[in-house]
Each structure stands twice: as C-alpha cells, then as structure tokens.
Amino acid sequence: AQKITQTQPGMFVQEKEAVTLDCTYDTSDPSYGLFWYKQPSSGEMIFLIYQGSYDQQNATEGRYSLNFQKARKSANLVISASQLGDSAMYFCAMRRNYGGSQGNLIFGKGTKLSVKP
C-alpha cells in the first residue's frame, strides 16, 4: 500500500531564509508521481511542484525545489527566500502511474509552516 509520511507537524522560518519540509513515501509501484500542495487558511489546495519517479533531475518551480532521493524514498520540499505569504499548510502527496492512467492522490498529514517577519 502507498503511504506518505510528513514528520514535522509545524515549522518556523525567518523571512528571507530557506526552509526544508520533509516527506518520505512508501510504495511498491515502479512508476509514480510526487506532489507538493500549499493550503492557505482559505482551504484551497494550490499545486506547487511535481516529480516523476523516473525523472533524472530534481524538479524546480520558481522558489520551490524538490529534493528527490529515490533510494531513500524521500521527496523534500525546499522553499528559498521565504515570504510572509508562504505561511500555510503544506502537503506532500503521491499518485501511482499505471498503464496510461494515474490513480488518486494519497496525502501526508501536512506541515504547518509559519514565516516570521
């Protein structure tokens, strides 16, 4: 069975500093995708970044990068130059890829990030 583990319930970071949010996963599927979402207090899930299991390079999207270590089954999110607007819940998620289609998202419990001015 697939499982996502986020061990940090809450994190604090100083504005303009970088922060790493941890995510480990467990799956027996050979092909899968890893996602990070941001959920502000408004409730909407905002897609941040995606890493495919066969991607050779770590994904980057602006200030977000994903530190993918396949052998260790980890997919940590790095946010550079934190901003006050980054304060939110962050969820790591996984989805299996099989055949030509993809399964549903499996989410971790989330990490609440607070950015201090």
Partner 1 sequence: KAGVTQTPRYLIKTRGQQVTLSCSPISGHRSVSWYQQTPGQGLQFLFEYFSETQRNKGNFPGRFSGRQFSNSRSEMNVSTLELGDSALYLCASSRQAGTDPHEQYFGPGTRLTVT
- Residues in the site for partner 1, rule: CB under 8 A? 33, 35, 37, 42-47, 50, 91, 93, 95, 100-110
Separation CA 71–CA 113 (nearest Å) = 27
User: Least distance from C-beta 89 to partner 1, angstroms?
Assistant: 10
Q: Which is nearer to partner 1, 9 or 117 (CB)?
A: 9
Looking at the Cβ atoms of 25 and 91, the one nearer to partner 1 is 91
Q: How far is the CB of 27 from partner 1 (least distance, A)?
A: 15
CB 99, min distance to partner 1, A:
9
Report the residue number, 57 or 104, with the smaller CB distance to partner 1. Answer: 104
Q: Determine the Cα–Cα distance for residues 95 and 35; give it in Å rounded to an integer.
A: 8
Q: Which is nearer to partner 1, 48 or 82 (CB)?
A: 48
- Give dist(CA 37, CA 45) in Å, integer: 6
In angstroms, give the least distance from the CB of 108 to partner 1.
7
The DSSP string of 5-58 is: E---SEEEEETTS-EEE--EEE---SSEEEEEEEE-TT---EEEEEEETT-SS-
C-alpha–C-alpha distance, residues 79 and 63, integer Å? 6
